[in-house]
Amino acid sequence: MTDADTYASSRTEPREIRARSFEYALRAIKLHHYLQKQKDGAGWILGKQYLRAATSVGANIEEAQAGESRADFIHKLGIAKKEARESMFWLPLLAESQILPAAQLKPLMRETEELIAVITSIILSTKRKSHK
């Protein structure tokens, strides 16, 4: 596996959302380190934007765990979902701008989409429980 591929590797077994978002943040750090080695100023800036959003996903999931109420839990997960959606903006931009090959970013884009889906599912099931 090359340095460029390291950040894009993914596991397929189901994982708990906190562990999964932590690993996602680690992958974002690896991507950022890779981009910092390149001589593309735009890549540095886009990589930093992605890093901020991607690491914020896990941070907000952790914050949700300490939510003061069910509403607070849902609110913090909503922020995590927004950060994941922002992350999803930066990845295709890196690909379309040809800073990185799209093929290398596909696993990370797929993981971002899956995180969004899982977070959405948790929010919806928590809201359903609130209304019972």
Cβ neighbours for 1, distance < 8 A, ≥ 6 positions apart? 9
pLDDT at position 124 is: 96
Please return the burial class of 98, using the count of CB atoms within 10 Å of its CB with bins 0-12, 13-18 and 19+.
exposed
What ranges do the domains of the chain cover? 16-130
Look at residue 131 in the predicted model and tell me its pLDDT: 76
The pLDDT of residue 12 is 34
Q: How many CB atoms lie within 10 A of CB 105?
A: 21
CATH class given for the domain over 16-130? mainly alpha
Low-confidence ranges of the chain (pLDDT < 50): 1-14
